[in-house]
Structures are given as structure tokens and as C-alpha cells.
Amino acid sequence: MKSATEAKIQQEIVMFYHNTYCLEHHKPRCIIFSVPNGGDRSPGEAMKAKATGEYMGASDLVVIHFGNLLFIEVKTDDGIQSKSQKIFQKHVQDIGFPYHLVRSLDDFKQLIN
């Protein structure tokens, strides 16, 4: 499960992006969504998640920004990717999509600008 700090960074990113690019009056409307992954689950819940498409190590956020598909992993200043997150990053990049590690709302803003 994310530390409170990672969760806070992700919340700031989602709120900023949604309010800046995803409201009804934005033309075109962009999309940001989180990928619920991991956490404490019973064995049955874990099996159901895997059977319904959970991808271990998937990025925290997926952003569709004016025709660009971005995979965003959120970490604190001293946070490091797990082995499964590195495997997901390689898979995404091998098929030609950008994957980014961001550590703050400012990092994210620089990325999309």
C-alpha cells in the first residue's frame, strides 16, 4: 500500500490534472485515472483481481493527454520502484509508450508542459 506521502502526491496530481484538463468545458477533455494495484487482500480477492486483469507493477496513473498516452508512477523523493514496476516499465516502453516516474506535482506539471 502507498505511504501517505505517495498517496498525497498522487492526489495532488489527479486534482490538478482533472481541474485543468478534464472538466466538461475543456475541449477536448483529457482523461486521468488511477490503477488500483496491490494492497492487503484475501487470497480469494487476489485471485479475482488477477483473473479480471490486474497487472502486477502497473503504473499508478494513466493519462490520456491530447492524444498522448502516458503511464505515470508516483514515488516520494526517496522511493524506489519494485521489481514488478520495473518489469511493467520495460513492457510499456518496449511497445512504444512513454513511462514516467514523478516525485511531485511540479515534476508532473513539467512533464505535461
Class of domain 4-112: alpha beta
pLDDT at 94 over 80: yes
Q: Where are the domains of the chain?
A: 4-112
Q: Give 9-59 pLDDT, tens digit per residue.
A: 999 999 999 999 999 999 999 999 998 876 677 888 878 878 888 888 999
Q: Give 67-92 pLDDT, tens digit per residue.
A: 999 999 999 999 999 999 999 999 99
**What span, in angstroms and rounded, lies between the C-alpha atoms of 72 and 49?**
21
Q: What three-state secondary structure class fits 22?
A: coil
Residue located via cell numbers 489527479: 14
